[in-house]
Structure 1
Amino acid sequence: MKQNKKGSISKRLPYILIVCALLGLLAAFTLTYDKIHVLQNPNYDPGCNINPVLSCGSIMKTEQASLLGVPNTIFGIMGYTALLTFGVLILAGGTFKKWVWQVAQVAALSGLLFMGYLFFQGVFRIGAICPWCFLTWMVTIPVFVYITAHNLENSIFRIPKSMSKISNIIIKNPVNIIATMYTIVVIILTYQFWYYWKTLF
């Protein structure tokens, strides 16, 4: 099992945040572009409509694609812009007080929970996978894991002694945790849409 060397999380963190933010912005802007065209022309066919399962268009037209009347992509652009700024400031040598990291943890957890909600709605309710949404799922996971590992390593939160072993596992094995979460996502998508995947062979 590949383990993390002490202190390497803080060194990796800004790069991970920046890369994930850029990928997230790419997905959010592309989806926003397609959303605008769908609103202007209901017959518009987004480039991410690949097959009956991999389809953005079918998801864009659902109520789950918006929150309080605002397209989810707008929240994505705002969130990933903030994440990019945060990552750049860290890379530039900026230091932050504990409360900033605590806010970052809440934001990362909120992003993960929202991702879980959209994942559930897309896979189990709508029955489709938006390729660009899939990309946002993939970047949300490492952001959450690495911010959590950083905060645990730097004692941003007080952790009960009974949780110290779990804390150490997260600190030492962020890559393995991310890989495990990715594997779970892939297994769910494979199982849920196997009726279609098997027709491709």
Structure 2
Amino acid sequence: MVMFDLTSLYGGDVSPEQRMSLRRCAAGFGVRRELAGAAVLGLIAEPVVITIAVAGLTGVRFPRGFMFAAQIVYTLGVIFAYWLFYAAMFDIGALCPWCLLVTLSTTLVFATLTHVNVREDNLFLPARIQRAAARFIDADLDVLVVTIWVLSIVLTVTTRYGSALFG
């Protein structure tokens, strides 16, 4: 694996503290090189998600257990994406466009997968919770929640890095 050039990735010098933080993030997943772990995990996972999405658009109905497993795995993926986002935002103190794109796309895919799984009753929820979740989806409240969530991320990034973004 080729190590990323952190200086060009973050547009300037990267302090020893930032490098150490990157190493801790990568080491959490057993990867020794900075940021390479996130890239490799994304390269492995995203084609699977795209394949499921394209197949779903063509009318393929996956078994309930498969979609439940996909939800669990993608939930772990969204947790990982937000862990990296937090590390970049607060520990490392620098964001790259790819990090922001991954956070946004992972959020939208997670919301869509959850929407489909609730609508199709794939999550093995108790009947009462499933009915409530289905009503929530039917009322498009999930769209409202995701919109507010994405806007709050944009606000957080803008508040923290606004002068560098618009400077």
TM-score bracket relative to the smaller structure: 0.7 to 0.9
**Structure 1 segments of 4+ aligned residues over 6 angstroms from their partners:** 58-61
The residue aligned with 2:95 is 129
The residue aligned with 1:11 is none
Any conservation in 2 of the 1:115–1:137 contact (CA below 8 Å)? yes
The residue aligned with 2:161 is 193
- C-alpha deviation, 1:162, in angstroms: 5.5
Distance in 2 (CA, whole Å) between partners of 1:36 and 1:61 is 19
**Larger displacement relative to structure 2 (153-162 or 125-134):** 153-162
Distance in 2 (CA, whole Å) between partners of 1:198 and 1:82 is 34
Is 2:62 the counterpart of 1:102? no
Is 2:145 the counterpart of 1:177? yes
- C-alpha deviation, 1:37, in angstroms: 6.0
Any conservation in 2 of the 1:65–1:71 contact (CA below 8 Å)? yes
| Stretches of structure 2 lacking an aligned partner (at least 5 in a row) | none
Compute the TM-score of the two structures, normalised by the length of structure 2: 0.76
* 1:141-160 pair list within 5 angstroms: 141-157=107-123, 158-160=125-127
Distance in 1 (CA, whole Å) between partners of 2:49 and 2:166 is 40
| Stretches of structure 1 lacking an aligned partner (at least 5 in a row) | 1-34, 53-57
Q: How many residue pairs end up in the alignment?
A: 156
Any conservation in 2 of the 1:149–1:171 contact (CA below 8 Å)? no
- C-alpha deviation, 1:175, in angstroms: 3.0
What letter matches 2:117 in structure 1? N
Any conservation in 1 of the 2:64–2:122 contact (CA below 8 Å)? yes
Any conservation in 2 of the 1:170–1:177 contact (CA below 8 Å)? no
Any conservation in 2 of the 1:59–1:130 contact (CA below 8 Å)? no
- C-alpha deviation, 1:177, in angstroms: 2.5
Instruction: Determine what percentage of the aligned residue pairs are the same residue.
Output: 21
